[in-house]
Structure 1
Amino acid sequence: MSEVSKKVYVYLENGTFLEANSFGADDTVVGEIVFNTSMSGYQEIMSDPSYAGQFVTFTMPEIGNVGVNDQDMESSKAHAKGMIVRKYQARYSNFRAEESLNAFLIKHNIMGICDIDTRFLTKMIRNEGAMMMVASTSISDKDELKKILENSPRIEDVNYIEQVSTKKAYKHETSTYSYREFEYEAAPTAKANIAVIDFGVKRNILNEIVSAGIGVEVIPNDFSADDLIAKYNDKSIDGVFLSNGPGDPLVLKKEQEQIKKLIVAKIPMFGICLGHQLLSISHGYDTFKLKFGHHGGNHPVKNIKTGLVEITAQNHNYNVPDNIVEIAEVTHTNLFDNTIEGLRYNDSPIFSVQHHPEASPGPKESKYIFSEFLSLIKR
């Protein structure tokens, strides 16, 4: 029996109207459409909080063939608005699989769109930029869908951080997962302790921090800088990590004000993705939106210090401005478009990267950055 349930109708803000098939949840959903070039890791992508508010178009044509399992979740649930694939494979084959992708999407109330020309969509996004769209399994009228889209908030108008951040602080003690032994590796003894500000942190980022020998307490996005400064002064923590997360960093005014206080206090900090962007804004350098963003597990980044090219995982629509070199040294650059991928601030114990150094679902060659954070806070 096929898991493809019914027709779905798609309307994009540039006027494109498409008919396809659906799997997963039935609904009428509005979100921003982006494309992802990863060859694997669709479950990690769908459960990455940074994709909140977005439809993810996969350039990999066959999706669903390895099923899903609890081990590969990057958070407690799926956060994307929906996934768009060329061909959905209902029949999965993997010894680690626990259920089908269709069952997973239904459980998390996420729409799947299939039997659609993803090459056409990807080229359109590349040429015209990321845009808003609406998809419905119940409404087929183009004008009605257009009206729904026009009356819905845009992704930059929504504070998705409040939806994905933890509501209470917790300790994270799990280390990285070994796919050779099929179990979590033993966590090393912590040589330092940090507070992780959760803007939508991925589980494997926390695993990598613990594996580097750092104790982790995850705290909500509505944190108090004064509390963290007090903890730093009494040596309860040795530094602060600013996580990845969804949406436009410029809307996070309260978070920016708290980060400014941490900067003034000279607390060692490390930011990834949204954290990288918030550090730039808090230093007085506003971010800008890229045309179609960087989304995928195969993006080349050059390490300026070593000269080596690292293949990285990426997931962002926003970037820091070039004139930030007035106060920071560029440590990494993106070889696709020469945008800034890493910074080390001149007069503060602070550094950040735009890409994701954790190996989930991307490669492992950037994971040394977590050890660099330990070295920074030990100094």
Structure 2
Amino acid sequence: MSTVGHAPALLPTYVRHDLTFVSGEGSWLVDADGRRYLDLLAGIAVVSLGHRHPAPLGAAHAQLDVLWHVSNLYSTEPMSRLASLLSERFGGSSAFFCNSGAEAVEAGLKWARKVTGRPVVVALEGSFHGRTHGALAVTGQPAKRAGWEPLAPAARFAHPNDLVSLEAALGGDVGAILLEPVLGEGGIIPLERGFVEAARALADAHGAVLLFDEVQCGLGRTGSFFAWQQLGVKPDALALAKALANGLPIGALLVADESPTGFEPGDHGSTFGGNPVAAAAACSVVEMIDDGLLAAVQARGAQLAAGLSALPGVVATRGRGLMLGADLDRPAAPVAAAALAAGLVVGTAGEHTLRLTPPLTISADEVRHGLELLEEVLA
């Protein structure tokens, strides 16, 4: 399977495979030639209920027949309902809706600056929070920041699960500690409970807020609705996106009820934030992530992790639920390309790490089939 630099009439911001998908259902994609592919990436943790899942599909269709858009100067039923559903799952929150994960992080950074009055953010080496100006500034990957610096806000970076480096990064100018409970692009690195507990304590001691980026690891991906629920540490605010509407564009910043509201009218906004069609689909997604689905995520995640660990060329496996990374004894990109040629969609997260984020609805038989294909590719 070859790659092309970019498609005609598109700016060259991605190196795309020479492959066009035209349809999908469940854990499967179909290309323009009619070939089927098992999807163990789900649009990078986006299509979490599977392609064309009837619940968000039906909700979006029904809303399209009623109302597509109004200004945020007015309310809509889907947006208000989604805010209430998320608040119930979070344990009390107020929502700001936007269109993507980067926008949700940007809103969180702006909120943190407003409530603390401090300019510096402490984030983690290897983290990824988006490619917009502010989100890029707090992304702990120098190669991605190169060419765009100086960036704002000012950021200092600690090492994941390294309490000494986190303590060293703190100071009186820090307004927020920003963490991914499971680092995604940084190599699928779960944060340890003790490290996150310490981050909570340090934020409180320094008068900073604790902000979680659950854009990739939230919404059932790790086996609990929010990833922080497995760590026992509730953030002051939380960024969501990706899987929230199963593929329709939507993001959200949730601010805990016990945290300062911060924003006032005019402080922030989004033309399409809380769009009725996307919000209607998102309501159905939130309702579908129940105890039964979360138990299945844990079971299928354990099955996939065990299978990955037994494959030739896999030297380590880590992650939570169905957000898994497999470290290889060889570069990951050629393996992902070979898997695609074999009819299997996987991703990478670093030079030697395969990233697997399949639909949360994937079956045990589909996991077995995916592992068989990977074994053939790695042999």
**TM surpasses 0.5:** no
Asked which structure has the greater RCO (Cα within 8 Å, sep 6+), the reply is 2
Greater strand content: 1
Q: TM-score, normalised by structure 2?
A: 0.29
Greater helix content: 2
Q: TM-score, normalised by structure 1?
A: 0.29
